[in-house]
């Protein structure tokens, strides 16, 4: 309990939003323009404390001094997901605690498949934990349009891709939904994501720029999709270097059509 009294999640303490003081409406009393600082998300990968986030707790009902449900009630204000292990006598109490939202999952300790079931639920609840602590970020990013990250088709596809590539961490790096991913060996890949909206916005900027006309045609025809790197925009790159930043896309059809590509770091 002393640990949890001092505990603060790194994920929930990110300074993602800041006042957009340069906006013309900032001084109006009925407006509050904000800027979303996605670099704060990316900077998290360099924080040595990021892996100390407590996402899931496994708690035995039978403990000295207080039982597992009593402990869960005391920790109810934390976003940590809680799995309770019960015996036959405490099973109904676990059902009641689950219905009351105090715990997220429970298992009988005499369950023959306990180890496998725990592994499955830990994975599910870890993902739910990070979904919950970042939902305010997604809601701000989706003020004007929906992102792939809220499309069930994309979510399922990306989850399977992560499993197949042993991805342990991923961080959103731009407002189109591109991810920086890190696998079990520490290797970095970029999962580049675009939609027709984002590609049209890109091509409109350079419609009358002759130096990149062929590149713009390839994007317009959806033969290429752009990604100029972390914390970079297209105008930070010389036109003769654009060829290195245009990538062959694959297509995923969900709520809308998604164009995606993988870039090795």
Q: How many CB atoms lie within 10 A of CB 249?
A: 19
Domain with CATH 3.40.50 in the chain: 1-135
What are residue 261's DSSP bridge partners?
192
Q: Give the fold, CATH level 3, of 1-135.
A: Rossmann fold (3.40.50)
Mean pLDDT over all residues of the chain? 90
Tokens describing residue 208 = 């009358």
Is the pLDDT confidence value at 13 over 80? no
pLDDT at 191 (0 to 100): 97
Q: Is pLDDT of 102 > 90?
A: yes
- Residue 34's pLDDT band, with cuts at 50, 70 and 90, is confident
Mean pLDDT value across residues 223-241: 91
Quote the tokens at residue 264: 């090795």
Name 194's bridge partners.
259
17 pLDDT more than 80:
no
Between CA 259 and CA 252 the distance in angstroms is 7
Q: Contact, 228 vs 245, CB < 8 A?
A: yes
């Amino acid at each position: 309990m002393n640990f949890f009294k001092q505990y603060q999640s790194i994920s929930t303490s990110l300074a993602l939003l800041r006042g957009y003081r340069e906006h013309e409406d900032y001084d109006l009393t009925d407006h509050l323009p904000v800027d979303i600082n996605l670099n704060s998300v990316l900077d998290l990968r360099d924080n040595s404390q990021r892996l100390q986030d407590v996402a899931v707790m496994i708690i035995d009902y039978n403990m000295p001094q207080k039982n597992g449900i009593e402990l869960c009630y005391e920790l109810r204000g934390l976003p940590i997901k809680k799995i309770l292990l019960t015996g036959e006598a405490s099973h109904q109490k676990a059902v009641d605690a689950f219905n009351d939202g105090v715990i997220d999952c429970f298992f009988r300790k005499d369950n023959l498949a306990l180890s496998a079931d725990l592994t499955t639920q830990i994975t599910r609840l870890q993902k739910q934990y990070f979904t919950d602590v970042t939902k305010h970020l997604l809601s701000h990013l989706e003020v004007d349009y929906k992102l792939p990250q809220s499309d069930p088709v994309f979510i399922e596809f990306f989850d399977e891709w992560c499993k197949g590539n042993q991805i342990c961490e991923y961080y959103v790096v731009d407002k189109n939904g591109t991810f920086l991913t890190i696998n079990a060996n520490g290797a970095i890949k970029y999962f580049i994501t675009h939609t027709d909206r984002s590609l049209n916005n890109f091509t409109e900027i350079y419609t009358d720029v002759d130096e990149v006309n062929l590149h713009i045609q390839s994007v317009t025809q959806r033969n290429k999709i752009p990604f100029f790197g972390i914390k970079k925009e297209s105008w930070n790159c010389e036109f003769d270097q654009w060829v290195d930043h245009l990538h062959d896309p694959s297509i995923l059809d969900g709520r809308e059509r998604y164009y995606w590509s993988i870039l090795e770091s």
